[in-house]
Structure 1
Amino acid sequence: MKLPRSAPRATVRHRTVEANGIRLHIAEEGEGPLVLLLHGFPECWYSWRHQFGPFAAAGYRVVAPDQRGYGRSERPGAVEEYTVLDLVGDVVGLVHALGESRAVVVGHDWGAPVAWHTALMRPDVVRAVAGLSVPPNPRSGGTPPLRAMRELYGGHFYWNYFERPGVADAEFAADPRTTFRRFLYGACGDNPANDPVPAQPLVPPGGGFLDIVAEPGELPDWLTDEDLDAFTAEYAESGFTGGLNWYRNLDRNWRLTAPWTGAALQMPALFVTGDRDLVHGFPGMSELIPVLRQLHPTLREPVVLPGCGHWTQQERPAEVNAALLDFLREAAPPTG
């Protein structure tokens, strides 16, 4: 039986703000210390639908933007305008555009590296930081990531498929609702293919990404037809190119972040993940996650959710909210 739909309440407000020279659509609710929620790919503000009410009720001002290139936000045309420096600049600009000087920054999937890098680059702006699914990953001094994956998997790793101009863009845009249904089910903990450890996401020769993600017989309890409708509607105009351009900058980001090699987080930090998350299968992750607290002494003990896949805050909202609110009460207690 499906769980009751948990749609954003009418008290979630929508507007557009100017930040870092571009227009960003935001959804917001509540009053108190500012908490920014940064989504991943292929998502938008709606992926945080289960967090608005509980966070606002706990005394926080919750703001979830559509990040650069996504949904209702502005979509620059040049690939080079989607570097990690641009994305961090958007976060800092958004904090200031909202009339604040500091914020707690929480990110999921691609939003997590943006959150971690914002914390590393602008510790004066970030009160506390949390990442879901993707841990703070130290920059290697060896080979840029796209080239490394190309050499390791013969060009079949999904990052390399995504970096090809126009290819994944067209595949995903051909039927966006099918894209979301297969993406969200394929990487979730309810997909038996992800138990115990998801396979490497390798795109077959001559095939597409959707060939490697299963078509669900029925939707898992946490995902409704209304949710699929919402994601599809949010992407109706924007398409997928803006989000894919983030992947196309992975090697450029590797070069740009050289000055922060070996830098450690300076503020309270939290990592939340599921044990069926595909990121756990990425090269080096099994060695990295056990030593995260040695690399970042301000990081709490990671929260690992049994049976949870990649879509952490959507699959397990109650547990994620409890972990984040416990963290927030200590790191950035509400006022009043």
Structure 2
Amino acid sequence: MTGYTHNPHDGVRLAYEEYGTGEPLLLVHGTGLSKAAWRGLGYRKALAGWRLIALDMRGHGRSGKPHEDAAYTTEAFMADVEAVLDACGVESAHYFGYSFGARVGFGLAAARPDRIRSLACLGGTWRALGGQVGDLFFPGYLEALERGGMPAFIDGWAARAGHPLDPVTAHAFGTNDAAALAAYFRQGERLPGLAEDELARLQVPALLLAGSRDHPRAEDSRRAAELMPHAQFRELPGLDHGTSLAAVEPVTTLLRDFLQAQASRV
């Protein structure tokens, strides 16, 4: 089922999909992607048996795309998630987020723990970004996006990688609104992360996944698991930030085992 709701604080429209039955599992995509990634990569099929709720975060997919930097705050992102949960009649859900989606998940676990039954993150960090976006894509990514739009961004990313982007990724990023994505990036560079003492107070059961070549996300995830009292870190050998998302079978195997363990404790 496809639906729409609105963030009650600023009215931004939010698109979401809901399918399956069972305990609710919220899927939150990474930067430049959308809820379509979960279906296209095979996560929807692999996670059959759960009530899956996937949303397009603001600035992405079929959700609203504000062009103002101030629209892309941690508080706005968290309110987007809560609005979708409310629209689905879900008080609390298990949470799985990739990259940007993982950052939102850490924020929710700290500020809205009643909405999160468990937290699973792939390629995530709880720290302030502090220049990590340029390391992930390419130096000058924001200038390319502001001056040349999505084609310039994609060309710069491919040049940094040394090969053309795969067609699925290129198409997914190419459909973005360049002005909205630039606002999202500018504000993202300013947003604070969580402090280590905040992580140490989180009581949510957590599974933190990262590729062994996903630096510094692997190190950040390992450190978070050391600090959080009910967290575990699992490394995905040989994978980097992008290839870890495409590794559907190992990721969902670990995720299903984790979720089933949480369900058995209820």
TM-score in terms of structure 2 length: 0.83
Q: Hey, which bits of structure 1, 4+ residues long, moved more than 6 A?
A: none
Match of 1:134 in 2: 124
Match of 1:101 in 2: 91
* 1:54 shift after superposition: 2.5
RCO comparison, higher one (Cα < 8 Å, 6+):
1
How many percent identity over aligned positions? 26
Deviations 1:97-137 (A, max 9, x none): 21111011211111110111111110011111111012333
Could you tell me whether the CA contact under 8 Å between 2:208 and 2:225 is conserved in 1?
A: no
Are residues 109 and 291 of structure 1, via their aligned partners in 2, closer, same or farther at CA, if it must alter by over 3 Å?
closer
CA RMSD of aligned residues (A): 3.2
Residue 249 of structure 1: SS of its match in structure 2? helix
Larger radius of gyration: 1
Q: In the alignment, residue 84 of structure 1 is paired with which amino acid?
A: T
TM-score in terms of structure 1 length: 0.67
Are residues 117 and 95 of structure 1, via their aligned partners in 2, closer, same or farther at CA, if it must alter by over 3 Å?
same
Are residues 215 and 229 of structure 1, via their aligned partners in 2, closer, same or farther at CA, if it must alter by over 3 Å?
closer
Match of 1:249 in 2: 187
Are residues 162 and 241 of structure 1, via their aligned partners in 2, closer, same or farther at CA, if it must alter by over 3 Å?
farther
Deviations 1:9-68 (A, max 9, x none): xxxx3332233332111233201221111111221112212111222x22x111111110
1:64 aligns with 2:57: no
1:14 aligns with 2:2: yes
Structure richer in helix, relative to its length: 2
- What stretches of structure 2 of length at least 5 have no aligned partner? none
Deviations 1:127-164 (A, max 9, x none): 11111012333x6xxxx935xx7xxxxx9996873455
- What stretches of structure 1 of length at least 5 have no aligned partner? 1-12, 150-154, 183-207
1:263 aligns with 2:248: no
Figure out how many residues of one structure are paired with residues of the other and give that number: 260
Residue 304 of structure 1: SS of its match in structure 2? strand
Match of 1:309 in 2: 240
Q: In the alignment, residue 266 of structure 1 is paired with which amino acid?
A: Q
Match of 1:168 in 2: 145
Match of 1:186 in 2: none
Q: 265-274 or 312-321: which moved more?
A: 312-321
Could you tell me whether the CA contact under 8 Å between 2:205 and 2:230 is conserved in 1?
A: yes
Q: In the alignment, residue 226 of structure 2 is paired with which amino acid?
A: Q
Q: 20-29 or 106-115: which moved more?
A: 20-29
Are residues 293 and 334 of structure 1, via their aligned partners in 2, closer, same or farther at CA, if it must alter by over 3 Å?
closer
Partner Cα distance (2:87, 2:221) in 1: 35
